[in-house]
């Protein structure tokens, strides 16, 4: 993927990984970067930063609820009309719960809509134009939890597995027709999700932090490299590949090791 002169949309772009991606795409010479987020003021701040640092890049902020089909479709239509065909769409918005299977139906529904259906809405809105054009690139932000699991957060683990599965299906189904898909699966990253919405002391947050936390800019660096090579899996934490291989090689042994890790962190040993 060539980022120079590309028109890029980043959802969840007001902070964390999304903001780092948006800034980096501007630095890479994108013609336009659309920063979309439920936090409209935060999206505006990031867009202003990009425009100030990279005046040749048209940085635009948009208020967006990524879980809303209508809003996602409207965003794609407006960007295409105002800026031109979207070259790269980063479906990056995501939430966690820190809850187990006993989470209420409302929490399960909310995280399903953001972590899974937002990607479905994006694909539905983008595919007709991309297939007609013969090219387009979707970057799905999932998580290492989508390849492994996230101790202490059942809804997050389940929905991130679904996000990886959807990205893989899209890559297989439309790859021969010019649509490229990459799936970003980081572990711990210094973002509001890890250090804000998931409170300190919660198992889900503590497990991730125990594995090592990197900065959002490091994730953006890995993404640029992965897009250049058009790799499906983009793993800012290289050890995730080893964990995934160990899981596939002996699932029972891997489950046992995860039980021991959980016991060590919770003190239940």
Each residue of 147-197: pLDDT tens digit? 999 998 999 999 999 999 999 999 999 999 999 999 999 998 987 765 555
Q: What is the mean pLDDT of the chain?
A: 93
Spatial distance between the Cα atoms of 112 and 103, rounded to a whole number of angstroms: 12
Residue 203 pLDDT > 90 = no
CA angle 170, 31, 12 (to 5 degrees): 55
Q: What is the pLDDT of residue 208?
A: 60
Phi, psi (5° rounding) for residue 84? 120, 175
pLDDT digits (tens, 9 = 90+) for 233-247: 999 999 999 999 999
What would the two tokens of residue 247 be? 């899981």
Residue 137 among the catalytic residues: no
Which listed residue (137, 156, 174, 243) is catalytic?
156
87-116 per-residue burial string, b: 16 or more CB within 10 A, e: under 16:
bbbbbbbbbbbbbeeebeeeebebbbbbbb
List the structure tokens of 102.
């006993």
- Going through the chain in order, the beta strands assigned E by DSSP cover 7-11, 32-37, 58-63, 88-91, 136-141, 179-184, 188-189, 213-214, 233-234
Distance CA 203, CA 207 (A): 6
Q: Report pLDDT digits (tens) over 128-140.
A: 999 999 999 999 9
Angle at 237 between CA 235 and CA 239, to 5 degrees: 100
What pLDDT is recorded for position 139? Answer: 98
Evaluated on CA atoms 79, 81, 83, 85, the torsion sign reads positive
- Which token pair is 51? 């425009």
d(CA 236, CA 195): 19
pLDDT value at position 200? 45
Q: What is the pTM of this model?
A: 0.92
Q: What ranges in 134-250 are assigned the alpha helix state H?
A: 154-174, 192, 203-210, 216-229, 239-249
Mean pLDDT within 70-83: 98
DSSP 167-183: HHHHHHHHGGGTEEEEE
User: What's the CA gap between 48 and 52, in Å, rounded?
Assistant: 6
CA neighbor of 76 nearest in space, from 89, 58, 59: 89
Domains and CATH numbers, the chain: 7-240 (3.40.50.720)
The torsion angle over the Cα atoms of residues 236, 238, 243 and 245, rounded to 10 degrees, is: 110
Q: Measured between alpha carbons, how far is residue 245 from residues 46, 167, 255, 262 in Å?
A: 37, 19, 13, 20
* Cβ count near 137 (within 10 Å): 23
């Amino acid at each position: 993927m060539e980022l120079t002169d590309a028109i890029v949309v980043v959802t969840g772009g007001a902070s964390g990984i999304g903001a780092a991606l948006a800034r980096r795409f501007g630095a890479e010479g994108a013609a336009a970067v659309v920063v979309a987020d439920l936090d409209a003021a935060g999206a505006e701040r990031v867009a202003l930063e990009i425009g100030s640092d990279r005046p040749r890049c048209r940085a635009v902020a948009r208020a967006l609820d990524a879980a809303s089909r209508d809003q996602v479709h409207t965003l794609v239509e407006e960007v295409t009309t105002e800026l031109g065909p979207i070259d790269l769409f980063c479906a990056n918005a995501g939430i966690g719960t820190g809850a187990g299977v006993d989470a209420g139906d409302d929490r399960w529904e909310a995280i399903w809509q953001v972590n899974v259906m937002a990607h479905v809405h994006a694909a539905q809105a983008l595919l007709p134009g991309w297939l007609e054009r013969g090219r387009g690139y979707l970057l799905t932000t999932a998580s290492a939890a989508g390849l492994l699991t996230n101790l202490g957060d059942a809804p997050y683990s389940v929905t991130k597995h679904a996000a990886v599965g959807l990205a893989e299906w899209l890559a297989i189904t439309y790859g021969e027709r010019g649509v490229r898909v990459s799936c970003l699966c980081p572990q711990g990253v210094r973002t509001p999700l890890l250090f804000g919405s998931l409170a300190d002391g919660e198992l889900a947050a503590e497990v991730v932090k125990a594995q090592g936390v990197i900065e959002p800019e490091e994730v953006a660096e890995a993404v640029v490299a992965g897009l250049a090579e058009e790799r499906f899996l983009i793993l800012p934490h290289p050890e995730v590949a080893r964990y995934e291989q160990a899981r596939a090689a002996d699932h029972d042994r891997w489950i046992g090791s995860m039980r021991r890790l959980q016991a060590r962190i919770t003190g239940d040993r």
